[in-house]
Amino acid sequence: MIRSGPRRFSVTIILICSLAGCVSWPGHGVAYSPSRKLRVAVLPVRSAVEIGKLQDIESIPATEKSVHDQAPLIARRMQAVTEEMTRSIESRLSANPDVEIVSHEQVETMLAALGMAAAKHLTVEQLECLGRALDVQAILAVRLSGYGRLKREWIRIMIGSGVGEGVAQGVVVARATANAALGVAAMLEEIGQEVLTWGGGSHLFNEHYSPVILEGRLISARDGKTLWSDTSFSSIDKKALKKLPQDEQKKKEIQLEVTAEKTERELVDDLGKAVKKHLQK
């Protein structure tokens, strides 16, 4: 489900895999018991973001914008970002009374011991091996797929969503007024606004907003099947920014930090709902 609009820039895209809808979690070896919480290992957040310029993710002096090789600076910054996201997601999920989290220190130590630390994607066999080693029922894998700029593929998704909303709005207007012409007019206006906002306005969007996109998957440690998946997207958290001093509000890294917190919260909240739904006591 995609929620978007010219006045709404916070979107949560819920993508539930087909297996999760057909087979219960216990069918994949993941079940709740009164004597034991759902034990989960959170993998280190992996970044799939390509950052071209340091100023896309951090406010830097004008004199440093001309630095020829910014790659090392970007790499260090993104490593710090993903490490903080891992700790934050782990902390938020541990607040769920039905979930027990294995610390990231334990996870990283075991990944290194099993020779999996450098792997970008773990195979089913590796996931099962890691699950046994950590004595967990499920493994949470999170990928950072957007940070600081809105990717073209997401702009296309937003425009596509806007077209769908435009058609739906046109139908509502036509039925309410019994006037097909008014319905068509409303549809075209909505679609036009979406294309302008997400298409022609994408450059301005990137200049004034700090989008963060996280993709999460909860994987059974028993058979490697995806139990739950969700993609959470937030453009900026203006409410949180207003609580900060004026000079802090203008910093790109601060904008991204507060937006990331909002995106993490939405992702973990959705996972919490899935846990409650599938592991009813």
Whether 146 and 226 share a structural domain: yes
Given a cut of 90, whether residue 272 has pLDDT beyond it is: yes
Q: 15: domain range?
A: 10-150+210-278
Contact 160, 227 (CB under 8 A): no
Q: What's the Cα-to-Cα distance from 52 to each of 67, 74, 75, 212, rounded to whole Å?
A: 12, 8, 11, 16
pLDDT (tens digit per residue) in 200-220: 444 544 555 568 889 999 999
Q: Is position 258 within any domain? A: yes
At 62, list the tokens. 């004008």
pLDDT (tens digit per residue) in 151-183: 555 555 554 544 444 444 444 544 565 555 554
What phi and psi values does residue 9 have, to the nearest 5 degrees? -115, 15
What's the whole-model pTM score?
Answer: 0.72
Of 192, 208, 224, the residue at which a domain comes to its end is: 208
CB neighbours of 11 closer than 8 A, spacing ≥ 6? 2, 3, 4, 158, 233, 234, 235
Number of domains into which the chain is organized: 2
pLDDT computed for residue 155 by the predictor: 56
pLDDT computed for residue 262 by the predictor: 92
Whether 132 and 167 share a structural domain: no
Q: Is position 4 within any domain? A: no
pLDDT (tens digit per residue) in 109-118: 999 999 998 8
Which range is least confidently modeled, 7-11, 25-29, 55-59, 172-176?
Answer: 7-11
Whether 67 and 188 share a structural domain: no
pLDDT computed for residue 37 by the predictor: 85
pLDDT computed for residue 207 by the predictor: 53
Which range is least confidently modeled, 12-26, 43-57, 123-137, 215-229?
Answer: 12-26
pLDDT computed for residue 13 by the predictor: 36
Burial (Cβ within 10 Å: 0-12, 13-18, ≥19) of residue 110:
middle
Which range is least confidently modeled, 66-70, 92-96, 263-267?
Answer: 66-70
Q: For residues 140 and 221, give the distance between their C-alpha atoms in angstroms, rounded to a whole number.
A: 10
Q: What's the Cα-to-Cα distance from 78 to each of 46, 74, 125, rounded to whole Å?
A: 10, 6, 29
Q: Is position 116 within any domain? A: yes
Beta-strand relationship, 212-220 and 226-234: antiparallel
Whether 117 and 234 share a structural domain: yes
pLDDT (tens digit per residue) in 74-97: 899 999 999 999 999 999 999 999
